[in-house]
Amino acid sequence: MPDIRLVVDDENLDLRLDSYLAANTPLSRSQIQKLIENGQVLLNGSIPNKKIKTELNDIIEFSYEEKTLTDILPENIPLDIVYEDEYLIVVNKPKDMVVHPAVGNYNGTLVNALLYHCKELSDVNGYYRPGIVHRIDKDTSGLIVCAKDNFSHSFLSEQLKDKTCFRKYFAIVSGVIENNGGEINAPIGRNEKDRQTMCVTSKNSKEAITEFSVLERFDDSTLIECELKTGRTHQIRVHMKFINHPVVNDLKYGRKKIDETGQYLHAYYLSFIHPKTNERMEFETDMPQYMKDYISLKRGKNIG
């Protein structure tokens, strides 16, 4: 098993060290706690107190090998490749695919597919997230860019931080939005009552800005376009819930469950500067069929 090295980003601040590692590696919290107690985990080069909380750009390192821990294996999973060169690959991720391995999801992830398809992937984010520059939720479909080398990875990551990487989504939300558009500027942080969810809060939160515009209204829902100005975990889902228009079929933040497939949210547009050519690249992908089917059903009651 290779050494594990993680760098804390601004979506994972103020978490207990064991909670952060349990969420970002395939190890359980109890396994992590044993490693910390045994002095096998280094935080910024030193052995940490077990109650310490994460801070931005913390470097966490440890090695671990156990027979019960599953290695990440390449899998011949078909990929919808939108663009590829020797530096990066842009993929249209389907709904119901996890981006990288974690507890309970060692197989069938985008990483497993990338390992089969690509000869090289960056290792900036450690062994369990090779090539992964940014993530989208399991039940969100759409465009994601992955890096094949560390320079490209860092170059693309910087664009996410300085907001020169642009991402737009189609979303179908509950209720009829009266305004034609707007900006939601509300900080997002971990939900203290449920650490698996995020919420709008002033405590231990980060700036979060989502712009949206109405594309079409139906009898009880609205098709919108959202553009992320920041990149917080579950940002669109949390912000739309905050204004009382949660994403349709969002099993975590929504109202009414249509089926088990998850939220009607698709990352259709992605734009960034290429790490080698310095040219701006733009990619778009069509709305997925499950959203088209929903819209077709609703158009019979369309209110404009």
Residues 6+ apart with CB under 8 A from 30: none
In this structure, what token pair is assigned to residue 223?
């098709």
**Cα three-residue angle 130-136-138, rounded to 5 degrees:** 95
Within 13 Å of residue 258, how many CA atoms lie on the same side as its CB?
16
Cα distance between residue 180 and residue 41, in whole Å:
51
In this structure, what token pair is assigned to residue 158?
């910087």
Residues 6+ apart with CB under 8 A from 46: none
DSSP strand E in the chain: where? Answer: 4-7, 41-43, 59-62, 81-84, 88-93, 141-147, 166-174, 181-185, 188-191, 194-200, 205-206, 209-217, 221-228, 265-273, 280-284
User: DSSP class of residue 100?
Assistant: S
Catalytic annotation present for 137: yes
Residues 6+ apart with CB under 8 A from 285: 82, 92, 142, 143, 266, 268
User: How distant is the alpha carbon of residue 262 from its chain centre?
Assistant: 15
Q: Could you give the dihedral angle defined by the CA atoms of residues 198, 202, 208 and 213, in that order, rounded to the nearest 10 degrees?
A: 90
Of 137, 139, 149, 250, catalytic: 137
SS (H, E, C) 186-230: CCEEEECCEEEEEEECCCCEECCEEEEEEEEECCCEEEEEEEECC
CA end-to-end span of the chain: 57
Catalytic positions, written as ranges? 137
